[in-house]
Amino acid sequence: LALTMVEYRIRPAGARFWVAEADERVVGTVGVRPADDGADGELALKRMSVRKDYRGLGIATALGRTALAFARQRGCRAVVLNTLMLQHEARALYERLGFRRHRHYVLPTAYGRLALPLYRLEK
């Protein structure tokens, strides 16, 4: 299943996926791919994740900077991402990396409404 997910995420031209390793295992991931809305010159940051027992060590920051450096090298005009309102630590990380809240979506779910903020980092 993990291989299928990775293949799906890196299949589009211009997409990349990075992993952070420690103690001979994957402890963090991040990927970029062309933005879902098809905007030219924009990449979407996807699948940013760090194992709970490795958080607070700068791994997510390093992964984020790697992805953003890739976007700069490709001449992208913006990088976008969405996250959940409940992910306070993730939102703080994205803001430290330079992302700003651009807009948000409210989606209906079986349990009520779910707010998804969209963050954007301009070139």
Per-residue model confidence as pLDDT tens digits over 52-101: 999 999 999 999 999 999 999 999 999 999 998 889 999 999 999 999 99
Q: pTM to 2 decimals?
A: 0.84
What total number of domains does the chain contain? 1
Q: Rounded to a whole number, what is the largest CA-CA distance in the chain?
A: 42
pLDDT of residue 110: 86
- Whole domain around residue 57: which residue ranges? 2-122
The two structure tokens encoding residue 43: 């990449």
What is the Cα–Cα distance from 54 to 83, expressed in whole angstroms?
A: 20
What is the Cα–Cα distance from 79 to 67, expressed in whole angstroms?
A: 9
Q: Give me the CATH number covering residue 40.
A: 3.40.630.30
